[in-house]
Amino acid sequence: MTNPFFQPVSAMELARFAGVPTFMRLPGLTPKDDRINEVDIGIIGIPWDGGTTNRPGARHGPRQLRDYSTMIRAMNPVTGVAPFTMVNCADLGDVAPNPVDIEDTMNRVTSFYDDLTERGITPLTAGGDHLTTLPVLRALAKSEPLGLIQFDSHTDLFDSYFGGYKYTHGTPFRRAVEEGLVDPKRFVQVGIRGTAYNTEDIDWAEAQGIRIIRIEELFDRGIDDVMAEVREIVGTGQTYCTYDIDFVDPTYAPGTGTPEIGGPNSFQAQQVIRQLSGVNLVGADLVEVAPPFDAAGGTAWLGISLMFELLCVLAQAVDARR
């Protein structure tokens, strides 16, 4: 049953360029709003790039993603999913980051998501750099380790940077496994590429049982085959999907901090998400959109288009759990 309150503003009434831009023209709610308890899926921004080791700017991601999101319509024409009529969706605003303190910010994020978890809201997050995923997982994996599907050109599995610093956007999933938030046997990475420092990350992953599917393997085997394996790896348990925009080729997604050439095109970028239908998703994010490196906004348009795909599979998962 479609809830009229939770429908996006129609472009036939208010042209796409008009209006204050909430995510996908959904109602904007805060924890103080009564109706927040009707929300099934909350879209949240985490405007933070405190873990970035090279080119910053992902803190500006949620703003630009919201801007372009007003060009998103209501229905997935391929899968037929119409998320806004299946589940109640809302823009829950941004987590307030502390740009000058990493630990404080991580605590703020976890606290925000703890509240969502208590309300039974499934989160779809717009980053922020990849370190933002760690405090989200801390909230979502309270009861048990999650499966993890990571689309990315980097493993983000390093131990530390700059002489022992443990929290950067190159280390979150090492921490997540160490903290027991992610089950390494149900953790798969897709799209890895780019020149390497060494094999530290790969060796550690192997030792843990993490499955790494490099870009060459993805292109050789094809999306259908690879994604079938991905679904098998995570199985039916609770699973999180994290999508780094640098998974996509930098010509398609220049607005990011650490681009690596030789990646998928935008069609392939959509296809891998559509293959997540049926996975027991408890949350998802799209991270590393850095608008200063793509003022023209193409990366944000790609990013929000992919977030809509993520929303469609999340809506299916939420619906399936009812």
The interface with a copy of itself within residues 223-252 (CB under 8 A) comprises 249-252
Decide if residue 258 touches a copy of itself (CB under 8 A).
Answer: yes
**Is 169 labelled as part of a ligand binding site?**
no
220 is in an annotated binding site: no
| Cis peptide leading into residue 180 (ω within 30°) | no
Q: Count of residues binding a copy of itself (CB under 8 A)?
A: 96
Q: Which of 34, 118, 143, 162 lies at the binding interface for a copy of itself (CB under 8 A)?
A: 162
- Look up residue 321 and give its two tokens: 């759990």
State yes or no: residue 27 binds a copy of itself (CB under 8 A).
no
What's the closest the beta carbon of residue 158 comes to a copy of itself, in angstroms?
Answer: 9
Round to whole Å and give the CA distance between 222 and 272: 10
* Dihedral angle sign, alpha carbons of residues 103, 144, 274, 174: positive
| Region from 110-118, 144-152, 159-167, 173-181 binding a copy of itself, contact rule CB under 8 A | 159-167
25, 175, 193, 231: which one binds a copy of itself (CB under 8 A): 193
CB of 254 within 8 A of CB of 299?
yes
Radius of gyration of the chain (CA): 18
Q: Which is nearer to a copy of itself, 235 or 298 (CB)?
A: 298
Contact between 167 and a copy of itself by CB under 8 A: the answer reads yes
User: Is 59 among the residues that bind a copy of itself (CB under 8 A)?
Assistant: yes
For 101, the 3-state DSSP assignment is coil
Q: Does 292 bind a copy of itself (CB under 8 A)?
A: yes
Does position 165 interact with a copy of itself (CB under 8 A)? The reply is yes
Q: Does 156 carry a binding-site annotation?
A: yes
Q: Of 47 and 147, which CB lies nearer to a copy of itself in the complex structure?
A: 47
Interaction residues for a copy of itself, span 68-87 (CB under 8 A): 71-78
Cβ proximity to a copy of itself, 55 vs 185, nearer residue: 55
Question: Does an H or E element contain 286, and which?
Answer: strand 281-287
- To a copy of itself, the closest distance from the beta carbon of 259 in angstroms equals 6
How many of the other CB atoms lie within 10 Å of CB of 17? 10
Contact 291/63 with Cβ under 8 angstroms? Answer: yes
Give the list of residues 6+ apart from residue 241 with CB closer than 8 angstroms, or none. 148, 149, 150, 151, 273, 276, 279, 281, 283, 284, 285, 310, 313
> Which residue in the set 45, 123, 127, 191 belongs to the binding site for a copy of itself (CB under 8 A)?
45
Our finding on whether 216 is near a copy of itself (CB under 8 A) is: yes
From candidates 39, 40, 43, 47, binder to a copy of itself by CB under 8 A: 47
Nearest approach, Cβ of residue 229 and a copy of itself (Å): 20
Looking at 31-39, 229-237, 264-272, 279-287, which segment touches a copy of itself (CB under 8 A)? 264-272
Query: Which residue from 97, 195, 181 is spatially nearest to 142, judged by alpha carbons?
Result: 181
| 219-to-139, 206, 224, 302 alpha-carbon distances in Å | 35, 22, 11, 20
Stretch that binds a copy of itself, among 6-14, 36-44, 110-118, 233-241 (CB under 8 A): 6-14
Decide: 303 and 243 in contact? Cβ < 8 Å: no
Show the tokens assigned to 213.
């599917």
